[in-house]
Amino acid sequence: MGMIVYEAAIIGAIVCMAYLVYRRRCCRHPLFTDYPILGMLPQVVMNLWRAHDYSTEVLKLRGGTAEFTGPWFTNMNCLVTSNPINVHHIMSKCFHNYVKGPVFREIFQAFGHGIFTSDSHAWKYNRDLFHSLFHQQTFHHFLQNTIHNMVHNKLLPLLTHLHQQAKVVDLQDVFNRFTFDNICSIVLGYDPQCLSVDFPQVQIEKAFNQAEESIFYRHTVPKFVWKLQKWLQIGQEKKMTEACKTLDQFIHACIASKREEIRKYNGKGDVHVDLLTALMREEEAHDDTFLRDAVFNLFVAGRDTITSALTWFFWLVATNPSVEAKILEEIKQQFGGEEEGNKLGHIGIKEAKKLVYLHGAICEALRLYPPIPFESKQAIKADMLPSGHRVHASTKIFLFLYAMGRFEETWGKDCLEFKPERWISEKGGLVYVPSYKFIAFNAGPRTCLGKDLSFFQMKIVAVAILRNYRVQVVEGYVATPSPSIVLLMKDGLKVRITEREKLI
């Protein structure tokens, strides 16, 4: 009996050594130290609290591309890159070889089969559909009116109240509520009144936050761990289930209500141009599952990303007074001072495009703090990246967008500076930067359809707030990126709101 155990131990040791040698041979460009059994996961877990910055530091040391190996037999191995040439290859040149894939859809199951998770024909159908809806003139008018109403009738009065109270406020929470009400109005034609002076708790808004937190968690542990938690309904997976149940009940109730509204009016009365109504009025009938997934994906696209962009933008502007002064001067030049202030209530998409310096400042904020900090793909066939890294069939690839804005080779030695001037030419126009280099709105065929509309929304909010109020970050506050699939501030943005002297 003792001899059998001894022989088994020797065989086990030989197998482990062989597997270790195999892993070392396969992983020729390691991202982190590859420990026996546990792989590189320990370093990820230990630095999870600063995941984005830590990954950036390591990628800089590895030349922008490296391999990650997870614990043995967990299928967490992947290739990680922040090299713009690799990104261009994956997102554009060889677009059809790199897909979201089944692993991505499993992790992002809350998104259903919407535009963000689908591939091939399903993705193209979704994209063509939304492209058609977004470019309708009636939708543009509806969007502009909705945003102006939200800003002037809800956001500015709330900021005035906060100024009068002279209290410290979490500006990120304000933007989160603003974008939630805004996207509900645009997609559903319904205002949940989340943005009000009493800061009410809205269950559906909390459910979206929880779902995103749980999705990030699934990226950080082996699949069998979160699968087991899901089966046992414990930990993050229990929270995910509860959040998805809340979301589904809310969205399906909105769909049922909208169907009844359309049936009741049957083309009579006011023309409804919210996106859910537009989807239901398409010639090709969409079932409730398709509509549910479409609504969920539109919510994520138009809520959290805008919240993230506005939060980091205002923090950067508040901590860079010279940039703030230049933005204010541009607003004055384009729209006049106090005696012409009524012009600010009528800024359309064309007028917003005249704000070149503001556009550059927003781009700079998005470069340093992209709302979606990483993107994942899966190879269909074996390939070779321009950096010389071999990609095997089914290889998972993570594109670290957060790190891309912090590489000297791409942006120069001042890459960590907030410098809107880098986006403006000598003639005063905008400098073109290819999407695979500035990837805040994705790149290639999957470039964000709502890019121009997002810039418009952010400019309207920026102009309205900066012209009327001064945002002062509380002393000693340190902005820290949250470990999440959306780049929000970990502890919110603590500020004081004071009225600004009128522009003259």
Q: Where is the binding site, in residues? A: 448
Q: Determine the 3-state secondary structure of 83 from DSSP.
A: coil
**Strands of the 98-99 sheet, one edge to the other:** 65-68, 78-81, 396-400, 374-379, 98-99
**Environment class of residue 356 by beta-carbon count within 10 Å: exposed (0-12), middle (13-18) or buried (19+)?**
middle
Q: Determine the 3-state secondary structure of 81 from DSSP.
A: strand
- Beta strand ranges found along 261-325 (DSSP E): none
DSSP 373: -
- The single-letter code of the amino acid at 172 is Q
Pairing of β 390-391 and β 469-473: unpaired
**Tokens (6 digits) for 443:** 């790149």
Rounded CA-CA distance 392/446 in Å is 23
**In Å, how far are 129, 142, 441, 464 from 147, measured between CA atoms?**
23, 9, 21, 11
**Tokens (6 digits) for 105:** 């859809």
- As annotated, the binding site for heme includes 448
Question: Long-range CB contacts (< 8 A, 24+ apart) of 226-234?
Answer: none
Rounded CA-CA distance 457/185 in Å is 14
Q: What are phi and psi of 431, to 5 degrees?
A: -85, 130
Write out the DSSP string of 378-422. EESS-EE-TTS-EE-TT-EEEEEHHHHTT-HHHH-TTTTS--GGG
